[in-house]
Amino acid sequence: MVKSKLVKILKSLSKEEMKYLGWFVKSDYFNTDENLVVFYEYLKRYYPGFDSTKFTKEVVFQHIFTKDSYDDAKMRNLMSKMTQLLEEYLVCLEWKQDKFVRDKLLIDAFERRNIDFDEFKKLTNGLIGEIGSLPFRDEDYFLLNMELQKKLYYQSTAIGANGTDKIIEDASDCLNNFYSLSRLKMMNEISSLMASKSIAKSIKKNKEFDENNILLKIYNNIAELYEQKSEAIYFATKTVFLSNINEIRRSEQKFVIKYLLEFAIREVRSDSKYLREIFELYKIAHENEILENYGIISNATFVNIVMAASVIGEFAWCRLFLAECQVKIESKTRKEMIALGEGFVAFYNKNYSTVIDLISNLNFKGVLYQLLAKSLSLKSYFELFLLDNSYFSFVKSYSESFEKYVSRNPDIGSRKSSSYTSYVKFVRKLAGLIHQSELSVDRKKLLIKELNGKGEIAEMNWLRTKIEGN
């Protein structure tokens, strides 16, 4: 029952939404089944975790149908009815939270019922004016504006009203901008996908768009950025974005940040100044809450931000970020993720023993974070070995246990498994050469050549610096 669609939806509700759900379930308009009211009251006991061992279909059934023996079909039917009621509630929540959706539905109702044209026109022009007063000029704006202009046009022509030419021209302009913006976004997404897979693909661009529209200008720049890989275009796009960030919806801000980050991450392989750019972009995203969902930062985003800040030595900023994130990381992974974040800060601050103390005994949820933690521990042992030769045995034993973990874990995909296995073996080999004082200049050249020929290998940049610096 814990993994049911019903419980997944209930877990997504805030405390306030859970309370209002009670009113919804008890409303005769939406529900006439008294068993669902009893079911809701019982579900409240287990919200928000629904993780009690007592929360089973059998126990819930006995509470609702006190005189009946357990009937699985009857219980599943009750859960299905509650799920349907919940889905209707979610629709109502969306309707309630978005004034434009409500007004648009009211306009649709006036149109469909052929209510007085003057009232319909007043409502429609009112909504057009409201969305026009907002700073956003994105897909949602153009699509809604186009639909409203079309409705106004067809209703106006039906009664022979004047001024229809201007209305249809406005609708056409909105359609052109919607198409241009949607196409540019789609083109950028394809370019992003192709770039991540190192596949060349040329995409014909449409340059007929309103250059006064900030978002269209940004997306067109990004399209050029993927094609030309120009530093000038990157910085120009970033400047335009920052100068107009308040005129861009949060949902669009996420796309822009994503594309700029992808470019900076690719370029950092050949130009280290983009390390600072990666941090700056994440800092902008954090300060504007662009990468948060309902106040929650995903573990992946959290790790990326901490790593970006730590690599360039922004330790003070990073500690403030870690303190702020105490309440922004999901509670079930909070302890481990904060420890991992502090581990990155300690590592780049050269406090290697602290890293091992922080994360060596923690059980990270999710393969990716286990790999990151183990990799950070291995690098810390290696750095300690460079300072004290007696740590060689720790590097050797930890690398062997790390390699066994990778080879025996079925949840690690073959690509990632190969990447980390190569990394672990390379660390062990490099440590052995240094321990035996056999890392000559010629041997370094051979190792660099071998490293470059490995294809995808974890921590390649760090390995390269360790070879070249010893």
The DSSP H or E segment spanning 269 is none
Amino acid, single-letter form, for residue 167: I
pLDDT of 308 reads 94
Distances (CA, A) of 464 to 29, 418, 435, 445, 458: 68, 18, 18, 11, 11
Contacts of the segment 170-177: beta carbons below 8 A, 24+ positions apart:
170/145, 171/145, 171/146, 173/210, 174/142, 174/143, 174/145, 174/146, 174/149, 175/142, 175/146, 176/208, 176/209, 176/210, 177/137, 177/142, 177/209, 177/210, 177/213, 177/216
pLDDT at 249: 87
Token pair in block for residue 409:
């874990």
Is residue 72 helix, strand or coil? helix
Determine the pLDDT at residue 198.
Answer: 57
In the chain, the amino acid numbered 131 is I
In the structure encoding, which two tokens stand for residue 118, read together?
Answer: 């003057």
Sign of CA dihedral 269, 274, 276, 282: negative
Residue 210 is predicted with a pLDDT of 67
* Per-residue pLDDT at 54: 82
SS (H, E, C) 79-95: HHHHHHHHHHHHHHHHH
- Classify residue 134 by its DSSP letter: S
β-bridge partners, 293: 296
pLDDT at 150: 87
Distance of alpha carbon 454 from alpha carbon 456, whole angstroms: 6
CA distance 290 to 294: 11
Phi and psi torsions of 439, nearest 5°: -90, 75
Query: How far apart are the C-alpha atoms of 40 and 19, rounded to whole Å?
Result: 10
User: What's the pLDDT score for residue 439?
Assistant: 87
Mind listing the pLDDT tens digit of every residue in the chain (470 residues)?
A: 778 899 999 988 988 999 999 999 999 889 999 999 999 999 998 888 888 888 888 888 888 888 888 899 999 999 999 999 999 999 888 888 778 888 888 888 888 777 778 888 899 899 989 988 888 889 988 999 999 998 888 788 766 667 788 888 888 889 988 988 988 888 888 888 887 665 555 555 555 556 778 888 898 899 888 888 889 999 999 999 999 999 998 888 988 998 999 899 988 878 888 999 999 999 999 999 898 876 888 888 999 999 999 999 999 999 999 998 888 888 888 999 999 999 999 999 999 999 999 988 788 888 889 999 999 999 999 999 999 999 999 999 999 999 999 999 888 888 889 999 999 999 999 999 999 998 888 898 898 888 888 778 888 888 988 998 77
